[in-house]
Amino acid sequence: MMQPIKEVLLFLLLAIFSKATGTKDYPNSRYSMPGDGASYCLSWRLAVEANNVRAWRTVPTQCLRYVESYMIGGQYDRDVELVVEQILCYVNEVVLSGDGMDAWILDVDDTCISNVYYYKGKRYGCDPYDPAGFRAWALKGGCPAIPGVLVLFNKLIESGLKVILVTGRDEETFGQVTRDNLHNQGFVGYERLIMRTAADKGKNAVTYKSEIRKQLLEEGYRIWGNIGDQWSDLQGECTGNRTFKLPNPMYFVP
């Protein structure tokens, strides 16, 4: 007989608080389906991750606190970890040739290392993209590793795959600082870090990354997997045998 009483009490308490605080951000079911505001932001985030919302410039302002809570409250980390588990299941099935040409591609920003501290100062993406601000941040070389991806990175190398990092960052400006940042965060032992050269300037991410992957195939590599936080990392040509989309509700790279 305790359970119904508990539920009635909980309902009353939540109803009182919902009224008292004037918000509907508290759950409306036992299974934590969110209230109106968070419900919209959850729909928006899902649509971003499923590539239904494209070319968005900023996070909807009403989702600032939602995205903050998502990024630093634990759900982002759990989402990354579940994808990493899926990747490891797949890697276990891959039969490597042993000729040293079995490759795996990883993006860098918000795939290996995180810009969440920078985006905290940009209202988690509610502010528009600020190239000078991002440049200053990246030049500090202080992006922390995304823990689940660092574990994965090491397992990929252990399994015999050649890990190739492909980033839209410019070699001339960010070459040394990016290598240092990756190194100080434990990303050691990758095969190559490929960055934009002068010839790649102005190319969109899909074109630039497709060309890089095509060149890798021409060199004889087999691309078993490809991981990025942007759909533009995973679309275009020669995308790889399997692609994996890591979450990123803070910005969109075309």
Residues that bind a copy of itself (CB under 8 A): 6, 10, 13, 17, 20-21, 25-35, 38-40, 42-44, 46-47, 49-53, 65-66, 68-70, 73-75, 78-79, 81-83, 86, 244-245, 247
State the minimum distance, in angstroms, from the CB of residue 101 to a copy of itself.
Answer: 25
Q: Quote the least distance from Cβ 175 to a copy of itself, whole Å.
A: 31
CB nearer a copy of itself, residue 4 or residue 98: 4
Work out how close the CB of 188 gets to a copy of itself at its nearest, in angstroms, rounded to a whole number: 26
Q: Measure the CA–CA gap between 110 and 143, rounded to whole angstroms.
A: 9
87 or 193, CB closer to a copy of itself? 87
Nearer to a copy of itself, 83 or 182 (CB): 83
Q: Least distance in Å: CB of 61 to a copy of itself?
A: 14
Q: How far is the CB of 24 from a copy of itself (least distance, A)?
A: 9
Answer yes or no: are the C-beta atoms of 177 and 202 closer than 8 Å.
no
Is 113:181 a contact under the CB 8 Å cutoff?
Answer: yes
Return the number of the residue (29 or 92) whose C-beta is nearest a copy of itself.
29
- DSSP, collapsed to helix, strand or coil, labels residue 241 as coil
Residue 213's alpha-carbon distances to 177, 209, 216, in angstroms, are 24, 6, 5
Residue 190 — φ and ψ, nearest 5°?
-75, 160
Which residues partner with 108 through β-bridges? Answer: none
CA dist., res. 29 & res. 7, Å (int): 11
Helix axes 64-72, 36-49, angle to 10 degrees: 70
Of 70 and 174, nearer to a copy of itself (C-beta) is 70
